[in-house]
Structure formats: C-alpha cells, structure tokens
Amino acid sequence: MQNRRKKAKGNEFGVENKLSSDLVANIDLLKHCFSYGKNNDFSMRVFQAKYNQKDVLLCYYASLVNSDKIEQTIIRPLLEQSGSSLYHVIIPESVKVTSNLNEIQDHMTSGKAIMLMEDDPIAYSIDVSNFEHRGISQSENESVVRGPKEAFTESLRVNISLVRKRVRNHNLMTEVKKVGDRSTQDVQLLYIDNLVNDKLLEEVKEKLDAIKVGNVQNLELLEQYIEDRPYSIFPSIYYTERPDNAAIYLERGHIILLMESSAACLIVPITFWSFIHNPEDRYMRVIFGNFTRGVRFLALFLTTMISAIYVALANFHSQMIPPDLLLAITVTRERVPFPLILEVLIMEVAFELIREAGIRIPNPLGPTIGIVGALILGQAAVEANIISPIIVIVSALSGLTSFAISDPSFNYTVRITRFIFILSAGFFGMYSLVMAFTIWFMYAVSLKSFGIPYFAPLAPIYLSNQDTYFRKAMRKEKWRPGYLLPKDLQSARKDK
C-alpha cells in the first residue's frame, strides 16, 4: 500500500520522485510540491554555510516548528561556525537523510525542517517540531480518590513519556504505524516486547494496515476502524485516559494504541471485566476494593433492571409486591392516565434528554438545566398527574446508578440495554424479561475482542489471577492473563 501511495503522489506532480544534485532544480521541485507562494505558512530560506561556502536551502512549515530552535541550532551555527562536516556544525538531536520526495513530504508535515545543500542530491530532515498542545491535567472522566490523578493529553510525545514513566522497562516498544492515505497520521503501538503475543501484535498491525481511508484524525475514529463488530451494543476496545491504567494493561501483555491529538489511549484486546473494573479497585486495600466492586455490580443490576422489574412486577406479578406497598403504589397511580410502561418510558426518556442536554449545554448555563430538570421531573410532573411519584424514585435510581459504570463506552451499552429490558418486560412480564436477558447475555458471552472471549477468564477458564467479580489480595496475584497467551505467563518472581 505504501508503494501504491508513493506512486500515486509521484504522478500527481508529474515530476521525478528523487532529488537531483542541482540545488536550483531542487528548489523548484520543492516550491512546486509545497505550492510556494500560495501556501502561506510554508517558509523557505537560502543562505551560505560558512564551513564549506556552499548555498543551503532551509524550508519548513512555520506553524509546526519551533523557530527559536531553528535559529539557535541550525541557522546560526551554519552562518558562523566552521568545521569539517555538517554534523560538526549543526546541533539538533535528530537529523535524518533522505532523497525521496514523498519522504520529504511526510517529514515536512510532521514538523521537521528540510535542508538541502548545493551539489548534494540528498535532503537533511531535522527535527524541530513544536506541535501546540494542552498541558497535562487531571483525569476528568475517570476520577479516583486514591491514586495518580494525571491524564493523557493531546500530545503523543507527552503521552509516551507518561507511560514510560510508569513502565521502566527497556522492552517497552513504541512502534509506529502509518494510517491514512492523504493525511498520514502516526499510530503508536506500545507493547512489552518479551510479553506480548506475536500473533496478537500481527493481528493488530493487520487491522491498522487494512484501514483504507484518506484521514484518520484521532483515536476515537481509529477505534471504529479496527473494531470487529461496529453494530454491536458492546464495546470491544477499551478507551481510557489514565496512563496508570495503560501501564497496568501493558504489564499484563495487552497492546496500547496512541495517537497525536487524542487525550486517551486504546487498549486491545479486552474483556467484559475491564469495563466494570476501575483502576481504583487495585489502589485500595483488597476488602475496600472488593466492597466497591460489589456496589458497582449492584449498580449494574439496578441500572439495567430496576425499571424493567418494576414494569414486570406491577403489571404481571403484582402478588409479589407486599400488600402495603402495593396499595401505596395503587393509590399514587390512581390519577395517572397513562399505562405503567408508558409512564416509565416517559421518565427514562426525560432522564436521557436531560443527560444529553447537560453534556452539550454551555458551561455558564449548566446549573440552570439542573434546576429545570429537577423541577420538571420531580415536582411538576407528579403534581400534574402525568407520572406517579414512585416512578420518579425508580427512574432516578436507575439513572443515578448508571453513573457508577464509569467507562463511557460501556455506559452507553447499559443505557441502551435498559430500554430493551423495559420494553421486553412490558410484553410478558418476568417471562419475557428473563428471555431478553438470556438472549442479551448469551450475545455478550459470544463476543470476542481480537479473538479473546468476552467473559474470559471466567468462562472459558484460563490460568490467570481470576480477577473477575472480585479480586484477590495483591500478593496472591501470580499470573498474567492466560487468555492473552503472553510469552511469560508468570508475573510473580520465579523463585517463589
């Protein structure tokens, strides 16, 4: 594919793909190639180097480079210093040599300065890039009480450094894959070379190679290009903005994908449990962590099921509700004109609307919507006899507990599931609800993420720490997940 792309570009300009030793011809070539004059931030400068008295051309995208650095490390040394060769004169840390026009283009667009010299058919590509990005800030979507607070930011270099800071291992590889035919972006694959399964790595690379689009701007889009089932309601790739989380998964033998301009990473392959677990479960003592997990499983049950169970019980199995409670429900429902399932749906939809609006609303207006929402949902709707008070409690419970599922992707799964269950419960009560649940669950169990069963290592079983519903004490964790087929299965020291 690489070759095809190069060929296509060569034809585009109708010129030779290589540099010649004639500087003037080369300058013309570059001017033509980068639309000099039309393209405002393409800068070019010609001057004479002192050390060999030859003409030098320096060109770069002014918006991508650090001009101070160019001044200090390239131009001034070349103008003022003498020496035997170029490398004795210029200072920058990274200089690459190329003569291929396509490579020059790639280097230019990734923030390098290109230097050509008289009588020389090669170009020096000097790294002086300075992409603007946000500083490192606190993790906003996956906040923890105990544990590191920093999150990835929109700079590849910073993100890699955040990971390397945690994984002090020379086997940590940061391999680059190019994606996109027109605007080529780097996808950085991070893995620990002597842990990761080679076939898995190959599969991920194949998936990246198979992307045939002009531009993949960021990770969020990349995720949708490499996932197995785009229409599934379950996510199969883990998206996290926490570098500590990434480091944990790296050590287990997973692969991390990073991209410039994404403040997060993708982790593959993944299981169902990763979406339920939270890094904080591990930062807290085992009992506290497991207690939180218990609460989270309860939240998962409540958020998906409580409204549906209410519909099923009140409509079909009212004998199960204790008489006093049943009477209370009946009294409050007396004046409500709608059927029960419609009532529940109105409330749930209203909650979803407020939630969506709450995300999109401009910050200064934020508190307003809270008040309006609470008033409409809580007070006014009940007083107007549109809904009964118990529905407010039920849907508030199901809405609130959904926030305990911290993973943003899985959160959507849970919310869609809730509607599926409510509708099915309205059909045949518990019978159809259990039916829907069984089908939903069996679908989830049948899923695979890069060939790994979704519910591993619970079903099917593999040698691992059995970190599923609850986790073990840290010092009893001796294995890496066996389902990843890592090169080294044992994570504890061998002599133990």
Partner 1 sequence: MKVDKKLAAFEMFSLTMILIALKLTDTTPSLFAQKAQNAFWYIPLLAFIVILPSLLILLYLLKHYQAKHLINLLEILLGNKLGKAIGFIFLLLNITFISLDSRNYVEQIRNLYFLNSSTLIIFVLFTIICIFGAIRGIEVIGYTAKIFFPFIFISFFLLAFLIYEELVWDRIFPIFGSGLPLIVEESLLKGSIYSDFILLTMGYSAFRKSHDFNTGGLVGLLFAIGVITFFFLIYAVVFDYNSIEKISFPFHEITQYVNLGDFFTNIETFFMVFWLLATFIRFILLLYLLTWLFGAIFNIKHFELLILPMGYLVMVVGLVPDNSVVNELIYRNQLLNLMTPIIMGFPLVLLLIHLFKRKKVEN
For binding to partner 1 (CB under 8 A), which residues are involved?
197, 199-200, 203, 269, 313, 316-317, 319-320, 322, 428-432, 434-435, 437-439, 441-443, 445-446, 450-453, 455-456, 458-462, 483, 485
- Our CA dihedral for 139, 144, 148, 152, rounded to 10 degrees, sits at -20
Smallest separation, CB 440 to partner 1 (Å): 10
User: Minimal distance in Å, beta carbon 454 to partner 1?
Assistant: 9
Pairing mode of beta strands 448-449, 55-61? unpaired
Least spacing, CB of residue 412 vs partner 1, in Å: 23
DSSP code, position 490:
B
Output 358 or 460, the one with its CB closest to partner 1: 460
Burial of 141 (0-12, 13-18, 19+ CB in 10 A): middle
Q: How far is residue 437's CA from residue 439's CA, in Å, rounded to a whole number?
A: 6
CB of 195 to partner 1, least distance (A): 14
Region for residue 166 given its phi and psi (left: phi exceeds 0; alpha: psi -120 to 50; beta: otherwise): alpha
Minimum CB distance to partner 1 smaller for 324 or for 383: 324
How far is CA 315 from each of CA 40, 167, 383, 395, rounded to the nearest angstrom? 69, 56, 23, 17
Closer residue to partner 1, CB minimum distance, 29 or 255: 255
- CB of 445 within 8 A of CB of 459? yes
- CA 104 to CA 100: how far, in whole Å? 6
The CB-of-250 to partner 1 minimum distance in angstroms stands at 17
User: Smallest distance from the beta carbon of 428 to partner 1, in angstroms?
Assistant: 7
Tell me the residue type at 312: A
Which of residues 60 and 410 has its CB atom nearest to partner 1 in the complex? 410
Question: Both ends of the chain: CA-CA distance in Å?
Answer: 49
Q: Which is nearer to partner 1, 128 or 257 (CB)?
A: 257
∠ CA 127-128-129, rounded to 5°? 95
Spatial distance between the Cα atoms of 262 and 260, rounded to a whole number of angstroms: 6
Measured from the CB atom, the residue of 396 and 458 that comes closer to partner 1 is 458
Return the number of the residue (242 or 277) whose C-beta is nearest partner 1. Answer: 277
Q: How far is the CB of 276 from partner 1 (least distance, A)?
A: 14
Q: Between 294 and 460, whose beta carbon lies closer to partner 1?
A: 460
In three-state secondary structure terms, 411 is: helix
What gap in Å lies between CA 43 and CA 40, rounded to an integer? 8
Q: Are 50 and 82 in contact (CB under 8 A)?
A: yes
Choose between 2 and 318: whose C-beta lies nearer to partner 1: 318
Q: Are strands 123-127 and 185-192 parallel, antiparallel or unpaired?
A: unpaired
CB of 206 to partner 1, least distance (A): 11
Shortest reach from residue 317's CB to partner 1, in Å: 5
Give the C-alpha separation, 234 to 447, whole Å.
8
